[in-house]
Amino acid sequence: MWGPDDRSRCRRYAGSRTASCSPAQPLNIPEDPAVSTPAKPVVLIAEELSPATIEALGPDFEIRTCNGADRAELLPAIADVDAILVRSATKVDAEALAAAHRLKIVARAGVGLDNVDVKAATQAGVMVVNAPTSNIVSAAELAVALMLAAARHISPAHAALRGGEWKRSKYTGIELYEKTVGIVGLGRIGVLVAQRLSAFGMKVIAYDPYVQAGRAAQMGVRLVDLDTLLAESDFMSVHLPKTPETIGLIGAEQLARAKGSLVLVNAARGGIVDEAALFDALKTGQIAAAGLDVFATEPCTDSPLFELENVVATPHLGASTDEAQEKAGIAVARSVRLALSGELVPDAVNVQGGVIAEDVRPGIPLTEKLGRVFTALAGEAAQQIDVEVRGEITEYDVKVLELAALKGVFADIVEEQVSYVNAPLLAAERGTEVRLVTDAESPDHRNLITIRGTLADGTQVSVSGTLVGIGQRERLVEVNGFAVDIEPTTHLAFLTYEDRPGMVGVIGGILGDASVNIAGMQVSRQDKGGAALVALSVDSAIPADTLAELQGAIEADAVRAVDLT
């Protein structure tokens, strides 16, 4: 067994240098400070990943590899690395985390995290990331493949032909066209399956208590309860996570409500469908057929289900495509780069000890931009900042939006790099009190994010934004109490002045003379003849002398420019 100093058992790649050794060879490492204290962050790749993973990491890291499934090799190898990339064979548990003295991130090149102790990592201050969307297309395609194979008896017909038998009449199948398919779980993979089966001419219904009916209707899917789905479906595909609530969700009672012609597919997680109940239903003809890629206990090579001709089964191949593996490797490589540079990692599962919900993620970049706009409007540090989050997303943990707001607030006013880790410290150092305020009620927008602050003289500064449409387009909708509707483009400007005729023409003329093209302009006022605000989106930065000219020409109370590059 190797000791902790024998880390060179793993191959090291640093630039064009390559060094390797084996237990049978004596270690002969020169006394080089760069070896004991690498200038570059060290990334350990503990399992075989696609070559694209290395390319995505780039030249900024020292890359080592080892066999993570071998504990005697893993524990010394992980001792002095900054990041480790794994798939499913390497167990990153409390023991491994304790051996990793400077580990900052564990990256799982795949969807599940069964082999990573997320709780122990969180307690150790180690970020955990995965690649949640890397295999969704592959998994959806396999579900459709299993459905087609079960409907057309592909597996037994193939076995019969290999056995020298030509049994055309015995293996007469059924079409998917104009049949009803029930999707259990309308998440990312469920949606992809629904889209693909709609193209087959199928009627799609779905059961998912966490999806709004309006969202389903946009996809041409009718939401129903589980009993209705079982009663109406000719085909059924399961796409749920495995939780205490979903284990055994489809059991004997549910299968008894199904049509005798039902073809059931489970390519999600084993255990959601009760395998004993499924066997009985298939054996007795209570349902017609099943396609299975997952099982309650894996690996599974001995199941009564495998004895049935009306079952087609695969050994958990949902993510087993070249494309999915490459996507996973690239995704976690990017996450490692972000994490080691102090940036927020969207695919982190334990940021600040909490999970970033899928519905919260699109608001992160918007909130950071709102923070930068807030700082430009304020022109000074605020004594207090409230990050207000309203609407449906308050059902989730939105703490990350507070961090995003602070990162934006301080990004343009401190010399050091601002990260989601040090932003709260910067606020504390400046005596800025920060509060996260949430409210499920949002009268005018589905979700609304507002950054509101109080300056030293009591002045209130605020900016609000939201995401609109299926494309989740970013919009600024309020600035210092004025209602606006403008895209937060790279170059913005805000001018407040006393409302009177001719001001829009003056502003346009001055900017035209300065060769600054206006991409968008909006005038907002609270009362006729009172205070007014012009919000501008322009194609290039407005020069300082032009801003001064604008202020003088319209006698503006304030002129603020924002550069979001």
Annotated catalytic residues are: 269, 298, 316
| Alpha carbons 369 and 474: distance in angstroms, whole number | 10
Map tokens 């909130």 to a residue: 367
Which class for 260: exposed (0-12), middle (13-18), buried (19 or more C-beta within 10 A)? Answer: exposed
What secondary structure letter does DSSP report for 8? Answer: G
Which class for 515: exposed (0-12), middle (13-18), buried (19 or more C-beta within 10 A)? Answer: exposed
Closest-CA residue to 66 (of 111, 124, 2, 156)? 2
Q: In a 3-state reduction of DSSP, which class is residue 436?
A: strand
| Alpha carbons 80 and 64: distance in angstroms, whole number | 11
Q: In a 3-state reduction of DSSP, which class is residue 369?
A: helix
Cβ neighbours of residue 319 closer than 8 Å, sequence gap 6 or more: 110, 111, 134, 135, 138, 139, 325, 328
φ/ψ bin of 485: left (φ > 0), alpha (ψ from -120 to 50), beta (otherwise): beta
Closest-CA residue to 249 (of 215, 278, 283, 213)? 278
Q: Are 531 and 525 in contact (CB under 8 A)?
A: yes
Residue 77 exposure: Cα atoms within 13 Å on the Cβ side: 28
What secondary structure letter does DSSP report for 116? Answer: B
- From the CB of residue 214, how many other CB atoms can be counted at a distance below 10 Å? 8
